[in-house]
Structure 1
Amino acid sequence: MTSRRRNPDQIGLFGTVTTAPAPVPARQCPPPRGKKPGRAPANPLIAKEVLAEVNLGRFGLLDDTDRVMVFEDDDRVRAALDEDLVHHLISGGYIERCPARETVSAKHGAITRPILPLRLTKRGRDMLQRWSNLHPLPK
């Protein structure tokens, strides 16, 4: 028994030559991951607050998923709203992951998961100090 392969240039039911069109994606490029439409870019005041909260030990990364979490209590975490800014500060060298030995367990919803805390680098501490020393201009 032989299998018949369909020739892409076959004559259709009504005598026309039918060719299978090449698949084309619906969009030219995928949307950026984690970006929310209509969100305003971060400003230095928010970055200063995030650096100060990292200095206090309020941010961590969820078990190897790189999702940024905020510690609510000693044993509970929730997703951070400033996740994009934290990842930008990590890539800029202002924030780093703590060593793996400092991993803590915290509840995310009803499940206890390991959370790796974040800390400031020397560059991040210097940036926080510079931004903390700035005062608004008098009007």
Structure 2
Amino acid sequence: MAAFLAENYAGSGQHIGRVDIRILLKSDFEKDDAYYITECKRIDGSSDLNKKYVKEGVARFVTEKYSSYYGRNIMLGFVVKKIDISSNVKLIEEIQNADLSQQMHGNFEFIESKDVTESYKCMYQIQSGEIELCHIFSDYSSIMEK
């Protein structure tokens, strides 16, 4: 059974969301709200999963469903089918920039490419200021069952 980490307490034992990975820094270990969040999504180049990456991933940070103590967090795309990651990133960027909410808009800036991983960063304007998301796309297609 997967352990989910509660995020943004809404009272009466309710939490607004469940994060995939919470990263605590040793220097801030005693601060309850000081952590980075990594949200994970599958990517196969399809419109369906690209939309989920934006609507059920990026949106959780931009709408502040997930907190952002440091103003930076990570979106991790597990690429499960052999695709051109760079081309797919452009499609994801188009989906988020077509959203009616201006908060969802942002431009992916290429950071680096190493072996089977490509990294980008994107700044988003949110109600409390701005947030930077690092988008990391890792190609796992070679180990996925056919």
Q: Which interval holds the TM-score relative to the shorter structure?
A: under 0.3
TM-score by length of 1: 0.25
Larger radius of gyration: 1
TM-score calculated relative to the size of structure 2: 0.24
Report which of the two has the higher share of strand. 2
